Amino acid sequence: MPLRSLIPILVLCLLSLPLQAKPLLRVLAWPGYADADLVAAFAERYDADVEVTFVGNDDELRLKLSKEGGKHYDVIAANTSEINHFVQQQLLQPLRLANLTQRNGQLQQFRQLNDIPGLIHEGQAYGVPYVYGEMGLIYNRKMMSRPPTSINSLWDPQWQGQVLAYDGSSHSFSLARQALAKPPFATPNEEMPATLAKLIELRRNVLSFYSLPEESVSLFTQNPVALMYANYGRQQLKLLQDAGADVGYVIPQEGAFAWLDCWAITRTTPNRDLAEQWINYSLEPQVSGALTERQGLENTLRNPQTENAPLHLIWLEPVANAELRAKLWQSILAGERPSNLVQP
Amino acid sequence: MKLSLGNKLTILLCLFGLLLSGLASYYSLSSSKQILIAAAKRDLLVANQVLGRNLQSSLENFANDLKVLSTQSQPVDVLQDTPRSPREAVELTQLFTSMLNAHPEYQRIRLIEAKNHGLERINVDRHGITASSALQEKGHFPYVFKTLKLVPGQQFFSEIAPSRLDPDKVLTLHIASPIWTDDQQVLGLIVLSINVKKLFNRLQRELPDYYQLFLANSQGELLLNPERNKSQTKSQGPSVMVQTQLPELRALLEGQSNNMLSILPAKREQPTRLAAFTTVSIEAESKHLLLGLAVPEEHILEASRELDQRLIQIIVVLSFITLLLSLWLARNMVRPLNQISLAIAHFSKNLSLQPLPTERGDELGTLARDIRAMQKKILTQIIELNTNQQELQRMAHNDPLTGLPNRRLFFDRLQHAISNAERSGKLLGLLYVDLDHFKEINDNHGHAAGDEVLGTVAHLLGSVTRSGDTVARLGGDEFVILFDEVESRATLLGIAQKLLALLQNRLLIDGKDLQVRASLGISLYPQDGSDAQTLLQNADRAMYSSKRNGRNTITSA
């Protein structure tokens, strides 16, 4: 009677099924970083549930991650300066690089984590580069006969009401500082009024602000827009071209801010192994390759094949007074007049 | 194991009854379940459509309110900064305030000018009237720049989108109308902001608790997501696009159909649900809301579960009744059978008649009646047979003329008496009687008279005997009397003399006076013979001695 003796074991197995519920991986990332089909393939391969949350700007990312000590997410994508910020907030945990085997396929420059500011703290790595891009200018060829050359075009009254800018506090401040020909990532107190005035001036010149790439596309296609600050760079360019817009893309003469987004694992995650598997998975050629093929973003596995001319890129750095910037930016966005802006 | 007929019948009937009731229950259950689900689907669809119409009419009311506001003269005057402007601004503010007070869903009403980057001129919200110094520039918001492009009479409906930075913030729907001067110049707009959650709370109050209400904007972004656990912070978790969860919904979002019914598959913390979706168009062109209602399948099946229980109860009761009925039926069938077999057994054993279920009207009654008739017939025939046998017996042992035992029976009795006397040592006596001149009586008076004489003599002989003695006719005119017990030869002689004396009397036969006399011989056991033959011969010889001695006398052996 071997079958009969198996029955209790089978029953026990059945009873223990609810205890062995699927693990849940919660990913906090940017649009295009975790497409549904790729997520589904991962979920099937590791028999897990995956919940992806997309954010539209760094302020939103900070808000979501910092809520309740980051316990709502397991793995996040953020640029190097934000990683730096989150490490200081003790929201992340050091990575076990030995487990991240897929890093072997990355370009040398993205494996030397020591050379990338913001990723190493006290000798331990906190982020693995995944995708990068720069924030150039997208212009409407039908409206602008010549490509813009400077970011000051965003302030050009000629295009008043036909400009789209990005809704994000740190980038917007950096942009204003750049337009003022000042160091972009720090704003001394005495220079704050001028910076705020510049930002209000920007607000008065734009049609609107967007945060998600899709938002920028619908604003662009539904309204006459001549110029757009492309926070998502070539990803947006591709989206617009796919939507049938006749657009061009330039890196302004002042240089374009560039971001390097990295995966990081939250300190409180209950699924550290699964999070590591996710990072490995994202670095597989077909997943990282999708960033380039589908989104127009640059992945860390191969060199870009676009223009050969050296681009003037300014890598993002941690900004000073991020909270103040965020608060002031919200007031600006709400439409406060200069006289009502609370200043430090 | 051998089962009795009764048990077999009970089991068979029970099984049959159970099978029938089980089948009937199963069919009614499955069909009623389908009916329930179909009804639930219909209810859900209807509820969702009603909800959609409610929402639609609410939105239309809002639009009408806004239209009323925007067609007043005050906005134009205020925006044109005419001399009447301050007074009209006050009036307009009051109008806004009273409208806010009248409609709890209204969150804010604003008058915004086209110039000055969309500066607010009047802003009344739930907290009151905003001071003029705190008014903001709103030109970069779609509800401003898009409304300013509309012609009079048109209205702008904003997309309802959750705030990305503060998802706890109220969901807002902005409805805006442009304000134009008489000379076709756009001056500004009035924006009515609706608190969508409040609106839906009102709508939801009309629904039963177990309904889950979904609301998505035209992008498919879920605005009201009942799947969010209440304890979970609302701002956390992904912003959910309905079409990724339920690809069929794409058709609704793309405007290919107006409503649909679907099954929401079970997932974390959520059971399988039946859901109806419908679109509500805010504006004829593009923007619409996707309204969904879901009911947990459990809830629908709860009703059918009650039905299940009721049916199980019915089956149990039916089974019990079936059992009782089968028992009763089996008993009713088997009891008469048992009664019949018992009756037959008794009858064949001792011919006794036991009660039979003859009163029954069915086949068993017929059987019982037939058996009874058969029994009666058998009994009658047996009685007849016995009677005949007795008659034959009598005919074999008795003389037909006098009814007295004949020679054969007499010999039997004599032998019987000798064997008795042998044991007891008592004396037996034989008296042989032969009528004198009987032939002459026959010749002179006819045989009939002779027969009568014989009968009378037989009677006479009987009169001298006691019970236990036997009078027999040996043939012709010869009789013999066996005395079972005599004390002595003298006693026997005494009896014989008494008889002889009686025979001296004349007999009246057939009207004639006849003299009938007899010669008598006596023998005594054991002196005159120890066996029947000898004893009778000796008596016979003694009788012949009497004949020789002149008749009418007694001789002892």
A55 interaction partners in chain B (CB closer than 8 Å): 164
The distance of A279 to chain B (nearest Cα, Å) reads: 19
The distance of A204 to chain B (nearest Cα, Å) reads: 6
Phi and psi, residue B473, nearest 5°: -105, 120
Amino acid at A199: L
**DSSP helix/strand/coil, A212:** coil
Check CB contact under 8 Å for A53 and B138. no
Query: Rounded mean pLDDT of B168-189?
Result: 87
Amino acid at A233: G
Q: Which residue of B has its CA nearest to A63?
A: B165
How would CATH label the architecture of A18-132+259-307?
Answer: 3-Layer(aba) Sandwich (3.40)
- pLDDT band with cut points at 50, 70 and 90 for residue A125: very high
Please name every residue paired with B508 in a beta bridge, in sequence order, or none if there are none.
B513
- Six-digit token string for B180: 């134009």
Check CB contact under 8 Å for B235 and A336. no
Q: What is the pLDDT of residues B226-261, one digit of tens each?
A: 765 443 333 444 456 777 677 777 777 777 777 788
Residue B414 has pLDDT above 80, yes or no: yes
Residue A6 has pLDDT above 70, yes or no: no
Query: Rounded mean pLDDT of A37-47?
Result: 92
B411 near A CB under 8 A: no
Check CB contact under 8 Å for A161 and B142. no
B268 near A CB under 8 A: yes
> Which 6-65 residues of chain B touch chain A by CB within 8 A?
none
Please name every residue paired with B280 in a beta bridge, in sequence order, or none if there are none.
B289
Per the CB < 8 A criterion, the answer to whether A84 and A284 are in contact is no
Query: Rounded mean pLDDT of B47-70?
Result: 89
Residue B268 or A20, more confident: B268
Q: Which residue of A has its CA nearest to B134?
A: A340
Amino acid at A279: I
Please name every residue paired with B379 in a beta bridge, in sequence order, or none if there are none.
none
Nearest CB partner across the interface for A207, out of B120, B135, B140 = B140
Q: What is the pLDDT of residues B205-215, one digit of tens each?
A: 888 888 888 88
Rounded Cα gap, residues A136 and B81, in angstroms: 43
CA dihedral B314, B316, B317, B319 (to 10 degrees): 120
Query: What's the N-to-C CA distance of chain A in angstroms?
Result: 83
CB atoms within 10 A of CB B37: 16
Per the CB < 8 A criterion, the answer to whether B413 and B535 are in contact is no
Q: What pLDDT, on the 0 to 100 scale, is given for residue B430?
A: 92
Query: Rounded mean pLDDT of B140-164?
Result: 87
The distance of B109 to chain A (nearest Cα, Å) reads: 16
Per the CB < 8 A criterion, the answer to whether A228 and A138 are in contact is yes
Residue A14 has pLDDT above 50, yes or no: yes
Question: To the nearest whole percent, how much of chain A has pLDDT over 90?
Answer: 53
Q: Which residue of A has its CA nearest to B237?
A: A53
- pLDDT band with cut points at 50, 70 and 90 for residue B431: very high
**DSSP helix/strand/coil, B474:** strand
**DSSP helix/strand/coil, A276:** helix
In Å, how far from its chain's centre is CA B378? 45
The distance of A63 to chain B (nearest Cα, Å) reads: 7
> Of A53, A125, A112, which is closest to residue A84 (Cα–Cα)?
A125
> Of A219, A253, A254, A224, which is closest to residue A236 (Cα–Cα)?
A219
Q: Is B168 a catalytic residue?
A: no
Q: What pLDDT, on the 0 to 100 scale, is given for residue B238?
A: 47
* Residue whose token pair is 């870009």: A304
Check CB contact under 8 Å for B140 and A203. yes
> Of B552, B473, B495, which is closest to residue B519 (Cα–Cα)?
B552
- pLDDT band with cut points at 50, 70 and 90 for residue A8: low
Query: Rounded mean pLDDT of B405-431?
Result: 91
Residue B110 or B223, more confident: B110
Q: Given this chain, do its domains A18-132+259-307 and A137-250+315-340 carry the same CATH topology?
A: yes
Rounded Cα gap, residues B312 and B452, in angstroms: 99
Rounded Cα gap, residues B411 and B409, in angstroms: 5
Q: What pLDDT, on the 0 to 100 scale, is given for residue B234?
A: 39
Q: What is the pLDDT of residues B338-373, one digit of tens each?
A: 888 999 999 989 888 888 888 888 888 899 999 999
Q: What pLDDT, on the 0 to 100 scale, is given for residue B434?
A: 92
Query: B5-70 and B297-350 helices cross at what angle (nearest 10)?
Result: 160
Per the CB < 8 A criterion, the answer to whether A221 and A138 are in contact is no
Rounded Cα gap, residues A133 and A260, in angstroms: 7
Phi and psi, residue B302, nearest 5°: -55, -45
Residue B437: exposure state from Cβ atoms within 10 A (0-12, 13-18, ≥19) = middle
Query: Rounded mean pLDDT of A81-98?
Result: 92
Per the CB < 8 A criterion, the answer to whether B434 and B477 are in contact is yes
User: CA A9 → CA A12, A18, A19, B182, B336, distances in Å?
Assistant: 5, 16, 16, 86, 57
B118 interaction partners in chain A (CB closer than 8 Å): 335
Bond from prior residue into B526 cis (ω within 30 degrees of 0): yes
Check CB contact under 8 Å for A59 and B138. no
Check CB contact under 8 Å for B136 and A60. no
Q: What is the pLDDT of residues B59-100, one digit of tens each?
A: 889 999 999 988 888 888 888 888 888 888 999 999 999 999
> Of B491, B489, B484, B479, which is closest to residue B519 (Cα–Cα)?
B479
Average pLDDT, chain B: 85
Residue B545: exposure state from Cβ atoms within 10 A (0-12, 13-18, ≥19) = middle
Query: A58-66 and A169-179 helices cross at what angle (nearest 10)?
Result: 150
Q: What pLDDT, on the 0 to 100 scale, is given for residue B550?
A: 87
Q: What pLDDT, on the 0 to 100 scale, is given for residue A197?
A: 93
Count, residues in chain A: 344
Q: What is the pLDDT of residues B437-491, one digit of tens each?
A: 888 888 888 888 888 889 888 998 888 888 889 999 988 889 999 998 888 999 9
Check CB contact under 8 Å for B139 and A204. yes
- Catalytic option among B477, B484, B528, B540: B477
Q: What pLDDT, on the 0 to 100 scale, is given for residue A137?
A: 94
The distance of B238 to chain A (nearest Cα, Å) reads: 4
> Which 103-132 residues of chain B touch chain A by CB within 8 A?
117-120
Rounded Cα gap, residues B194 and B214, in angstroms: 18
Please tell me what DSSP assigns to residue A158. Answer: G
**DSSP helix/strand/coil, A242:** helix
Query: Rounded mean pLDDT of B221-228?
Result: 72
CB atoms within 10 A of CB A4: 7
Check CB contact under 8 Å for A67 and B236. yes
Rounded Cα gap, residues B344 and A2, in angstroms: 59
Q: What pLDDT, on the 0 to 100 scale, is given for residue B314?
A: 83
- Six-digit token string for B155: 């209205």
Amino acid at B398: N
Check CB contact under 8 Å for B165 and A330. yes
Check CB contact under 8 Å for A208 and B140. yes
Rounded Cα gap, residues B515 and A120, in angstroms: 176
The distance of A160 to chain B (nearest Cα, Å) reads: 10
Query: What's the N-to-C CA distance of chain B in angstroms?
Result: 83
Nearest CB partner across the interface for A67, out of B140, B145, B233 = B233
Nearest CB partner across the interface for B140, out of A68, A72, A209 = A209
Q: Which residue of A has its CA nearest to B135?
A: A336
Query: Sign (positive/negative) of CA torsion A201, A207, A208, A210?
Result: negative
Per the CB < 8 A criterion, the answer to whether A47 and A284 are in contact is no
Q: What pLDDT, on the 0 to 100 scale, is given for residue B2?
A: 63
Mutate to test the interface with B, among A65, A205, A207 (most CBs of B within 10 A): A207
Residues of A with CB under 8 A from a CB of B: 24, 36, 49, 51-57, 59-60, 63-64, 67-68, 72, 161, 203-204, 206-209, 211, 223, 330, 334-337, 339-340
Q: Which residue of B has its CA nearest to A203?
A: B140
Rounded Cα gap, residues A122 and B512, in angstroms: 176
A72 interaction partners in chain B (CB closer than 8 Å): 233, 236-237
Per the CB < 8 A criterion, the answer to whether B407 and B489 are in contact is no
Rounded Cα gap, residues A10 and A87, in angstroms: 47
The distance of B141 to chain A (nearest Cα, Å) reads: 6
Residue A161 has pLDDT above 70, yes or no: yes
* Residue whose token pair is 């209950």: A270
Question: To the nearest whole percent, how much of chain B has pLDDT over 70?
Answer: 94
Query: Rounded mean pLDDT of A86-90?
Result: 91
Check CB contact under 8 Å for A211 and B164. yes
> Of B271, B268, B218, B226, which is closest to residue B243 (Cα–Cα)?
B218
Domain boundaries, chain A: 18-132+259-307, 137-250+315-340
Question: To the nearest whole percent, how much of chain B has pLDDT over 90?
Answer: 28
Residue B97: exposure state from Cβ atoms within 10 A (0-12, 13-18, ≥19) = middle
Rounded Cα gap, residues B186 and B148, in angstroms: 7
Check CB contact under 8 Å for B133 and A334. no
Element (H, E) at B24: helix B5-70
Which residues, 6+ apart, have CB-to-CB distance to B416 below 8 Å?
A: none
- Six-digit token string for A281: 């998975």
- Six-digit token string for A81: 């300066």
B136 near A CB under 8 A: yes
Rounded Cα gap, residues A241 and A225, in angstroms: 14
Q: What pLDDT, on the 0 to 100 scale, is given for residue A343?
A: 58
In Å, how far from its chain's centre is CA B42? 37
Check CB contact under 8 Å for B140 and A335. yes
> Which 210-249 residues of chain B touch chain A by CB within 8 A?
233, 235-239, 244
- DSSP for B205-274 reads HTS-TT-EEEEE-TT-BEEE-TTS-SSS-TT-SPPPBHHHH-TTHHHHHTTS-SEEEEEEPPBTTB--EE
Residue A27 has pLDDT above 90, yes or no: yes
Q: Tell me: domain A137-250+315-340, CATH 3.40.50.720, correct? A: no
Check CB contact under 8 Å for A49 and B268. yes
